[in-house]
Amino acid sequence: MTETDSQSLQASAIDPQLLQAYLATEYTVLGQRPFRLCIDTFSPELLALYHTHGVRCAAFISTSNPFSQRFDDAENERRQQAFEQNAFLWAGGDAVVRLVLVR
């Protein structure tokens, strides 16, 4: 981890234990050939997806409804109000996955 990354983690409003959980998690990418992403790690599977889709970067954002279940309007609104984004995963052309903090 770079000094800047370390400083960002220390300055974050996110609970330190939650940050550690984010960093330790293996994030599953679903599709024809599911694979896992780990923070600060090169992903050959992700790089292969870049080539397949003609892209040079990717962002992964998780919400409280990862399998796109249908909810009525009231429940959908309640969930949107409760959703608070802490971070997301970003990978540039090198296909190394980074945790980007937004709080």
71 phi, psi to nearest 5 deg: -130, 155
Tokens 């409760």 -> residue = 82
Q: Whole-angstrom Cα distance, residue 42 to residue 54?
A: 18
Segment 50-103, tens digit of pLDDT: 999 999 999 998 766 656 677 888 887 887 777 778 889 999 999 999 999 987
Q: Give DSSP secondary structure letters for 32-62.
A: SS-EEEETT-B-HHHHHHHHHHT-S-EEE--
Residue 5 is predicted with a pLDDT of 64
